[in-house]
Chains A and B, each alone.
Chain A
């Protein structure tokens, strides 16, 4: 369960976030949707405590990110935007390094790494160094790394970026499986299709505000648009600017 309350963040004179509030419940996939520069990444970065909010607060399983950042991080599995992996380490070593730093004991860490490698079906590359890996292979490694400690809450920033159709499908299957297991899944995207097909709930962000929050169907009905893409354009007000 992730909850944001009135998050504000200023970069110099630019207000990136101006009171962002929403919640992402357990057992649901919540999509953070918005045009480029809307504040999606900034919101997620505050949630996983890389940035501090100027005002407002966020809670991960009711742990305040402002007061107990490490406690909040321990409850999160994070796939940051454009996440890299260590090129001189194998996939397994990359995963185990993060597992160990999450506090998993050696034996448990190994078992979890093997488990997650099987889950993501990356056995073939598991013991290869990640140097020279394709975007998809790197992303799977980074995803495995984010899930190694069985986080209750999973946050992914633009996970489908640069992935081919097959990989996107596989990612969807993984996220759906996490939902079935009762995890809270929160991901950001600017790709309508991903959000429409995958999300139980959508939070639409534009200009640092939450402009809409609901199921994809509800949003479509509310905006009176025929399809989800038109709904998005109306909700974010992008049409006026274009």
Chain B
């Protein structure tokens, strides 16, 4: 019977390697799509990050001659000042047309009110709906507030008041994130693409070996052979597993090759993209493969035609990504219980690998065992399905 399993496996692999559609979906599409999308996204982020870093912040100031000290303070904080003479309408127009990021207008009464110890008005024109601008605006605001505080303390000292009275508490902020943990947000999509590649790698084979076989009229002759029906389906599931593994390995390889050309350091990420990590990523996904292959095979066996199977499986392929979406929406942290959820466990393990974090043996065992158990169950169900008389439909 093991020989029958092997024969079916070899035939399915050989036949599907000759089928252009299957090869394209399993070995070209999956491995190319994810790395291209994610790689391009990261490249773009790096490029933009670098651009922002190089370009100095600049502000156009209307009426700069009215506040020489303020202008000098702004300059001293590394913000370039462009003197200008805009009316209110002109200033707004420049922001709207994106000719300028920020326009600061110093009103004519500024000097007089400052001298009188009254709040001196400044008008800042910005477009906060443009997320690009927010960090520039924040920087200018901080500079202006600093200047304001400095003036306030000078005034208090002149009036014989200790300025420290107005500083009841001091907050010190420590950013403990390491470069690798910061990268996880962007690399979180990695596991999504991995799982997708894994499933899409086996999709066409799962269809071809069940619904396709029935549609072509090869299932009935196959069932007249002196081989247990369940072993036939086990062989087919095994072939689907092989394609999934191949697709997963190729995708991982493509990812790591592509990300090498992204300057991750510049995003504040330390890229741990060596061969060991890549092999680790493939290894933690392995236990999910039997469950994935059996699931696709079972769904495809229920459908009546190739097209129907295709429609169903495109939908089913999104199943493993659902727990991932839940976790990111609910902001759940890895726990042993969550590790037991197939596909989620793999997601956490991939993230841990990319973050270079240690994973407890219990969590690892939970993920591996739950995925393998589910796989075994689904394979048995598939075997049972194939023993039904109504299989030929």
Binding site for B on A (CB under 8 A): 48-52, 70-71, 73-74, 76, 78-89, 93, 97-98, 100-103, 129, 142, 145-146
- The residues of B that contact A71 with a CB separation of less than 8 Å are 226
Q: Which 5 A-B pairs have the closest CB atoms?
A: A84-B217, A74-B226, A84-B216, A78-B224, A88-B18
A73 contacts B224, C-beta separation under 8 Å: yes
Shortest beta-carbon distance from B32 to chain A in Å: 23
Q: Is the CB of A50 within 8 A of B223?
A: yes
Choose from A52, A70, A79, A97 the contact partner of B226 (Cβ within 8 Å): A70
Complex Cα spacing A87 to B218, Å: 10
Chain B: residues with CB nearer than 8 A to chain A?
3-4, 7-8, 11, 14-16, 18-19, 216-218, 220-228, 389, 392
**Contacting residues, chain A, for B18 (C-beta < 8 A):** 88-89, 129
Distance of A84 Cα from B224 Cα, bound (Å): 13
B389 near A51 with CB under 8 A, answer yes
Contacts of A83 in B (CB 8 A): 217-218, 220-221
9 contacts between A and B (CB under 8 A): A49-B224, A50-B389, A52-B389, A70-B228, A71-B226, A89-B15, A93-B14, A98-B225, A101-B227
Find the A residue at minimum CB distance from B17: A88
- Contact, CB under 8 Å: A84 / B389: no
Beta-carbon contact of A84 and B19 below 8 Å: no
Q: How far is the CA of A89 from the CA of B228 in the complex (A)?
A: 23
Question: A50 vs B219: C-alpha distance in the bound complex, in angstroms?
Answer: 10
Query: In the complex the two chains form, is A80's CB within 8 Å of B220's CB?
Result: yes
B14 touches A85 (CB 8 A): no
Seed contacts A86-B218, A89-B18; 15 additional CB < 8 Å A-B pairs: A49-B224, A50-B223, A50-B389, A70-B228, A71-B226, A79-B221, A81-B220, A85-B216, A87-B216, A88-B19, A89-B14, A101-B225, A101-B226, A101-B227, A146-B221
A83 to B216 CA separation, bound complex (whole angstroms): 8
How far, in whole Å, are A103 and B222 apart by their CA atoms in the complex?
Answer: 14
A50 touches B228 (CB 8 A): no
The answer to whether B224 and A80 touch across the interface, beta carbons within 8 angstroms, is yes
A194 and B392 CA atoms in complex are apart in Å by 28
Which residues of B have CB within 8 Å of A86? 11, 15, 216, 218
Determine how close the nearest CB of chain B comes to the CB of A155; give it in whole angstroms.
8
CB of B224 within 8 A of CB of A48, answer yes
Max chain A C-beta neighbours (<10 A), residue from B4, B218, B221: B221
Q: Bound complex: CA of A97 vs CA of B225, how far in Å?
A: 11
The residue from A79, A100, A129 contacting B7, defined by CB atoms under 8 A apart: A100
| Residue from B7, B19, B224 within 8 A of A97 (CB atoms) | B7
From A48, A70, A89, A142, give the contact of B11 (CB < 8 A): A89
A234–B319 alpha-carbon span in the complex (Å)? 60
* Structural contact, B221 and A103, CB atoms closer than 8 A: no
Residues in chain B near residue A89, CB distance under 8 A: 11, 14-15, 18
Shortest beta-carbon distance from A48 to chain B in Å? 5
CA distance A84 to B223 in the complex (A): 13
What residues on B are CB-neighbors of A82 within 8 Å?
217
What residue in chain A is nearest B228 (Cβ atoms)?
Answer: A70
For B226, what are the chain A residues with a Cβ–Cβ distance below 8 Å?
70-71, 73-74, 101-103
Chain B neighbourhood of A50, CB < 8 A: 220, 223-224, 389, 392
A84: chain B residues at CB < 8 Å are: 216-218, 221
Are A97 and B11 in contact (CB-based, < 8 A)? yes
Name A51's closest neighbour in chain B (CB-CB). Answer: B389
In the assembled complex, the Cα of A80 lies from the Cα of B18 at a distance in Å of: 26
Chain A residues with CB under 8 A of B4: 101
B8 contacts which chain A residues (CB < 8 A)?
101
Most chain B CB neighbours (cut-off 10 Å) among A51, A71, A84, A89: A84
> A78 vs B226: C-alpha distance in the bound complex, in angstroms?
11
CA of A48 to CA of B14, assembled, Å: 28
Q: Which residues of B lie under 8 Å from residue A85 when comparing CB positions?
A: 216, 218
Q: Which residue of A lies closest to B20 (CB)?
A: A88
Residues on the B chain within 8 Å of A48, using CB: 224
Using CB atoms, name the residue of chain B closest to A145.
B221
**CA distance in complex: A157, B329 (Å):** 58
Task: Chain A residues near B228: list those with CB within 8 A.
Answer: 70
Q: Which residues on A sit within 8 Å (CB–CB) of B3?
A: 100
- Given the complex of chains A and B, what is the CA–CA distance between A27 and B141 in angstroms? 102
